[in-house]
Structure 1
Amino acid sequence: MNPDQKHPEYDEFSKVWKRCRDAATGQRAIHKGGEEYLPKLEGQSTDEYDKYRSRALYYNATGRTVEGMKGLVFRKKPVLVTPEMMKPWLEDITMTGISFNGLAKKNLEEVMKVGRYGLLVDYPLAPQLVEGASLTINDAAKMDIRPYIAGYTAENILNWILERVGSKTILTNVFLNEPVLNTAYKKQIRQLTLQNGYYQQFVWASGDKGSWELIQTVTPFMNGKALDWIPFWFSAAEESDGSVQNPPIEDMVYVNISHYQNSADLENGAHVSGLPTPYITGIDASDTPKLALGTGTSWQLPNVDSKVGFVHVGADGFATLEKLMDRKENMLAALGARMIAPEKKAAEAAETAGIRRGGENSVLGDIAGTVEMSLQQALAFMAEWGGAKGDVRFEINKDFLPMPMDAASLTAWVKAWQSGAVSEETFFEALQAGEVVGETLTFEDEQERKADSPPPLGTMTNDTE
């Protein structure tokens, strides 16, 4: 098997990934796609088509949805607990300048766009040591040799093989496209594989002739022992089982591109019909000199029965196109782009709003859950491999829509606290959950604020009497 051989699901979905990425990027990418997104009209020349395409407006509901959903997930800071030793690693989790928070956002965005992302936990090769010597944790810290997480987009995960071993289905091979480090080659692929039950990495490179050459073999060790599994995790829209899944925004993409095509027809029609286009009847064109338009110009026609006028489109000429575009904007809103949906004029019952929001949040909740799980597992193994002892926990916010505590609930909580039914700390936690108090404020900080504040109104007495 050649290193660049692609999985059948890769070939099936690669065009879908490109379409989703272009749709989320916006007008520049859609225009660049040319006839892939906007077919030529019959008989159009290249120049006419370029003008036709340039007038089309791409209404980027897809990109706004991806950014909006990412904003909902990260509107609250994720919970991240790691050993003290790992905290400096989080500032550059990839060893390429990307923080763990940045990697988490990238992971979520990729799953939103194309439904797939990969995480590899790796360890840099240690420098050659004197025979019999080993690298201690302190030595590794001094040389900044420690585990890191490398992220791979869907397009760079070329192939993967899962096999049944005993009672488990495990990953036995992954082929990853990577930037070329040696300028003597044009392509580089890293193969993660289980050979005789042990994890190894094979680095393949290809030159001008296109043949593949094995340029590096690495056997990672942890605590002096080779690993018996591949530390690679898939993030997906649903189950992270390695299979390629439909991108969450795919349905929106098709509607968005169709809306773009309607825009091209509408803008082109409005441009053509908006220009003054005269017509004359009752004359022989071959006997008529070229006629000019403009102030101070008149036409002397030989036939008194000739008719002159301007072609124009009636008031309802583009109504169908406009209705189609309005309908598709509503479809985009229904598919997830809430930020472009028109505000409801009528009041919505609380129960109805809760059901509607719960349904919309379920897809995003699934995505956040799988991203959280893959990052949590990668982070925990990174800690174990690097010798960082202690709890590792990562939780992404799943309370997507702000639901501030209403006046009735606040009154009830105050009464419960005043009557001694709940502690002051529980009352504070309720205020935090209801977004009355900021999420970053601790109970101890609030106690200090209270101590530094002046007495409440009505509690001061007159000691001079």
Structure 2
Amino acid sequence: MTDVRTQSAEAAKLNEDCALIAALLGGTKTMRAAGKRYLPQWPGEDDASYTLRLAVATLFPAYARTIDVLSAKPFSKPVTLGEDVPERLKPWLQNVDLSGRDLHSFLSEITQEAMGYGFAGILVDFPKAGNLVTKADEQAAGVRPYFVQVHVQNVLGWLPKNATSLDGLTQLRLLESVSEPNGDFDTKEIEQVRVLGRGTWQTWRQSETGSKKEWTLHEEGVTSLKIIPFVPIYGKRLGYMQATPPLLELAHSNVEHWQTKSDRQNALHVLSVPILFTKMLGDNAITVGAGFAVKSESPDADMKYVEISGAAVEAGRKALLDLEDQMRQAGAELLIVKPGGTSVAQTVSDNEQGTCALQKIIQNVEDAADQAMQFMAQWVGEPEGGHIGIYKEFGTFNLAQASADVLLKAVQGGFISKETFHEEMQRRAFLSPDVSWEDEQDRLQLQGPDLGVL
């Protein structure tokens, strides 16, 4: 029988690539710490030589840089709030996680995490009410819901395992680290497991009874929500609560580059040191340097430095450059727009034809943020949480201008309304989110007809 801290088979599968990704994102220091896992010790290589080779190995951070660049593109423009976002929620989004991050920064960082690890989550939590009894008491005290960024490695398990229930999850287990006072001048980190149910919560901590350690219930309580307010975000979705890093092959190529670069670095060290070769010099001691001579009585005696041509070094350099080109291409492919129909009717009826892989990921993040805001609204009795917009027009053929042109043709052809055109231009960040459709109509009325228009 497993305890509350044991990771389920499904959660272990979700986490199976995390060690590799964490090592690459951690840089040279973390890759060195991983040792033989990613830099094998070759047959015949003694421990001292391997230790030295590992100590001087450096990582070309292709994976980390690619994740940074790609995940930053959607947030090069501010996240926009829809007009349906309740006024009550708007100030909360300026400090959405109660640790200083606004919604834009929070979504930017969680997108980077989902891109890198393939999965991330948003838990919409609510502080313990304590002595507060009514909603009015909570509002007066400033108690309100907030977002919690959940790392994939903190997911221990969920029920139902296949997530086929129409009501969503019935249980979610998350690993947490809690900071508590440790004397007057220090704190200590305590590991605990949070178990969320529909309308219930528990925290479990490890306790010691003699020499026996076991996980026991620490706290529990009930909530006003009869659902688990958790939203998954996928890098590359395989199924509900199952995903993989979208650039996993790039990660493996980066490890190959780490190994190849180490081999080449070691070869350069060996080949750059000439080897002194002597022949028929007898047993006399040899001193090499200015002011010294070497004497031999044999007519066949010889003494010279032997150097290797370096053809293998050039081959290794080319292999590294080829790997770097492949890694760049792997990252760029997420920005390639899918070929498909380009007519106005096709684009209006099926926008999927004009999206790249990164845009699909961002659409998932956008939908997840909408769901999280809905949970935030439900915590305080608001009927709707509203919608947000994230910039997504970064395809390789200037998709922003292309889509704007398609929308213009659509409104001219009667496929969409002028108000919808206004909303879509606002969603694409061509218009400020502060410009409402009604205000724009009033301005057009005041502006009058264009010159030359009868």
State the TM-score, normalized to the length of structure 2. Answer: 0.77
- Whole-angstrom CA distance in 2 between matches of 1:315 and 1:50: 25
Q: Which amino acid aligns with 1:365?
A: Q
- Whole-angstrom CA distance in 2 between matches of 1:430 and 1:181: 45
Moved more, 140-149 or 5-14: 5-14
Q: Which amino acid aligns with 1:191?
A: V
Pair 1:387–1:243, CA change in 2 (3 A):
closer
Report the counterpart of residue 200 of structure 1 in structure 2: 200
CA offsets per residue over residues 387-442 of structure 1, 9 Å max, x none?
44666112222212472999xx99xx9xxx9xxxxxx999999999999x786796
Moved more, 116-125 or 96-105: 96-105
Superposition map of 1:335-350 within 5 A:
335-337=330-332
1:24·1:62 contact (CA, 8 Å) conserved in 2? yes
Provide the identity percentage: 23
Residue 155 (structure 2) aligned to one of 154, 157, 162:
157
Report the counterpart of residue 292 of structure 2 in structure 1: 297
Report the counterpart of residue 17 of structure 2 in structure 1: 16
1:205·1:215 contact (CA, 8 Å) conserved in 2? yes
- Whole-angstrom CA distance in 2 between matches of 1:432 and 1:167: 37
1:163·1:169 contact (CA, 8 Å) conserved in 2? no
CA offsets per residue over residues 114-135 of structure 1, 9 Å max, x none?
1111221121121325xxxx42
1:237·1:366 contact (CA, 8 Å) conserved in 2? no
Residue 176 (structure 2) aligned to one of 172, 175, 178:
178
Q: Which amino acid aligns with 2:98?
A: M
1:20·1:249 contact (CA, 8 Å) conserved in 2? no
2:370·2:385 contact (CA, 8 Å) conserved in 1? no
Residue 370 (structure 1) aligned to one of 364, 374, 377:
364
Superposition map of 1:258-269 within 5 A:
258-269=256-267
- Whole-angstrom CA distance in 2 between matches of 1:248 and 1:434: 24
Mind listing any 5+ residue stretches in structure 1 that lack a counterpart?
222-226, 340-350, 418-423, 452-465
Q: Which amino acid aligns with 2:379?
A: W
Pair 1:380–1:186, CA change in 2 (3 A):
closer
Superposition map of 1:57-456 within 5 A:
57-81=58-82, 82-128=85-131, 134-137=133-136, 139-162=137-160, 168=166, 170-181=168-179, 186-194=190-198, 199-208=199-208, 209-221=212-224, 227-239=225-237, 241-284=239-282, 287-289=283-285, 291-337=286-332, 362-388=356-382, 392-401=386-395, 403=398
CA offsets per residue over residues 57-103 of structure 1, 9 Å max, x none?
32211111101111222122222232222222112212233322222
Report the counterpart of residue 29 of structure 2 in structure 1: 28
Q: What is the CA distance between 1:147 and its match in structure 2?
A: 0.9
Larger Rg: 1
- Whole-angstrom CA distance in 2 between matches of 1:115 and 1:16: 9
SS of the counterpart of 1:41? coil
- Whole-angstrom CA distance in 2 between matches of 1:431 and 1:377: 23
Aligned residues: 415
Pair 1:107–1:240, CA change in 2 (3 A):
farther
- Whole-angstrom CA distance in 1 between matches of 2:112 and 2:362: 10
Q: What is the CA distance between 1:190 and its match in structure 2?
A: 0.4
Report the counterpart of residue 451 of structure 2 in structure 1: none
Q: What is the CA distance between 1:12 and its match in structure 2?
A: 3.8
Pair 1:322–1:165, CA change in 2 (3 A):
closer
1:115·1:236 contact (CA, 8 Å) conserved in 2? yes
- Whole-angstrom CA distance in 1 between matches of 2:370 and 2:65: 28
SS of the counterpart of 1:269? helix
Mind listing any 5+ residue stretches in structure 2 that lack a counterpart?
183-187, 343-351, 413-417, 447-454
- Whole-angstrom CA distance in 2 between matches of 1:375 and 1:368: 10
Pair 1:375–1:166, CA change in 2 (3 A):
closer
- Whole-angstrom CA distance in 1 between matches of 2:63 and 2:388: 28
1:239·1:370 contact (CA, 8 Å) conserved in 2? no
- Whole-angstrom CA distance in 2 between matches of 1:428 and 1:94: 31
Q: What is the CA distance between 1:143 and its match in structure 2?
A: 1.3
SS of the counterpart of 2:147? strand
